[in-house]
Amino acid sequence: MEEKLESSPTQSKSSIDALSKEELIQKYKGLLGIAKKAKQAKDEFAEDNRKLKEALQLCETQKEADKKAIIIMKETLEQFTEQKLKLTNDVSELQKKNKADEESLAKLRIENESLQRQLNRLNEDNEALLKDIDRMEDQLKQVRDLSINNASKKV
């Protein structure tokens, strides 16, 4: 269907003149079909190009959003790292304080046990002294009774 067009304009005019009406119509129909296909290909290319530009823009937007998210994540990570360091130091200090408190508690328990034993000894001594007082009071009463009996016998 396609015929080669010659390079000189005068020869192409004469070759077109030499064609019959039907051949010209066929030739123009062929050229029109090629032009339609070219336009369709151009439109498809333009649509594909538009879609790719939109996709590229979407990717750029996502890229910027991802960059901002990464910056925020880095800042958050730094904050968490600082908090972890502070909390680690706090835990260390509390462990030291806890150890000192446990040592103090152990000393106080020992002192408490010592004082408890001392209190028990003092209570035992007190009980013994109370018994001695009771015995002495009984003896004093017996001495009085004997004195009264001796005094009443003399009278």
- pTM for the model: 0.47
Give the whole-angstrom CA distance, residue 67 versus residue 70.
5
For the stretch 6-50, pLDDT in tens is 445 555 666 777 778 888 899 899 999 999 999 999 999 999 999
With cut-offs at 50, 70 and 90, classify the pLDDT of residue 119: very high
Calculate the CA dihedral of residues 83, 84, 88, 90 and round it to 10 degrees: 20
% of residues, the chain, pLDDT over 90: 75
- CA angle (39, 40, 43) in 5-degree steps: 85
Question: According to the model, what pLDDT value does residue 128 have?
Answer: 96
Query: In this model, does residue 147 exceed pLDDT 50?
Result: yes
